[in-house]
């Protein structure tokens, strides 16, 4: 039986859920997800589940937050001066925005609070601090 190993290009179908069963993503009905096993393209816990998995095999994996999107960080909470926001922009809690980091890369944030002179933005990944469950099926291996 062909099994996946580090360095293999693989394709998987997956369904990602929170531990309460709430689904947040799935490849079902779409093309399977392709990546290189062990190359760091996936979250740590997902990547670690593939070596030794056989072609056509299905399994459910539980990934603690630390091996998923990490714990929530207070350093990712940013106070942004309202003077730097266009006057015609309608601000509301929960509104997603995109900032740029020092390298010009996009950083998605969510408005969590609106104060008198600043807005409070959360740059944590929306799954940070959450334990995850994935149902995965290995559908292709290119050694």
pLDDT digits (tens, 9 = 90+) for 40-53: 999 999 999 999 99
Cα separation, 42 vs 67, whole angstroms: 10
Query: Both ends of the chain: CA-CA distance in Å?
Result: 13
Query: CATH fold of 9-70+127-142, please?
Result: Chitinase A; domain 3 (3.10.50)
Angstrom CA distances, 20 to 40, 45, 119, 122, 137, stand at 27, 18, 31, 23, 21
Report whether 55 contacts 1 (CB < 8 A): yes
pLDDT tens sequence across 21-77: 999 999 999 999 999 999 999 999 999 999 999 999 999 999 999 999 999 999 999
- β-pairing, 9-18 with 106-114? unpaired
Q: What is the mean pLDDT of residues 81-98?
A: 92
Q: What is the mean pLDDT of residues 10-27?
A: 98
> How much is the pTM?
0.83
- % helix, strand, coil for the chain, step of 5: 10, 45, 50
Beta-carbon contacts of residue 102 (< 8 Å; ≥ 6 apart) = none
Instruction: Domain ranges for the chain, please list them.
Output: 9-70+127-142, 74-122
Query: CATH fold of 74-122, please?
Result: Thrombin, subunit H (2.40.10)
Q: What is the mean pLDDT of residues 123-138?
A: 97
Where do the H-state alpha helices sit in 37-103? 44-48
For the cut 90, the answer to whether the pLDDT of residue 143 exceeds it is no
């Amino acid at each position: 039986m062909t099994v996946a190993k580090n360095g293999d290009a693989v394709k998987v179908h997956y369904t990602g859920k929170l531990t309460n069963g709430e689904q947040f993503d799935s490849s079902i009905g779409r093309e399977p997800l392709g990546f290189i096993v062990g190359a760091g393209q996936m979250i740590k816990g997902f990547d670690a589940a593939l070596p030794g998995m056989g072609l056509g095999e299905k399994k459910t994996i539980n990934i603690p937050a630390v091996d998923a999107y990490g714990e929530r960080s207070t350093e990712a909470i940013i106070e942004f001066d309202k003077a730097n926001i266009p006057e015609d922009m309608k601000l509301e809690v929960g509104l997603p925005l995109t900032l740029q980091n020092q390298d010009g890369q996009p950083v998605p944030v969510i408005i969590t609070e609106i104060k008198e002179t600043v807005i409070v933005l959360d740059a944590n990944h929306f799954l940070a601090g959450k334990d995850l469950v994935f149902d995965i099926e290995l559908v292709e291996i290119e050694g």
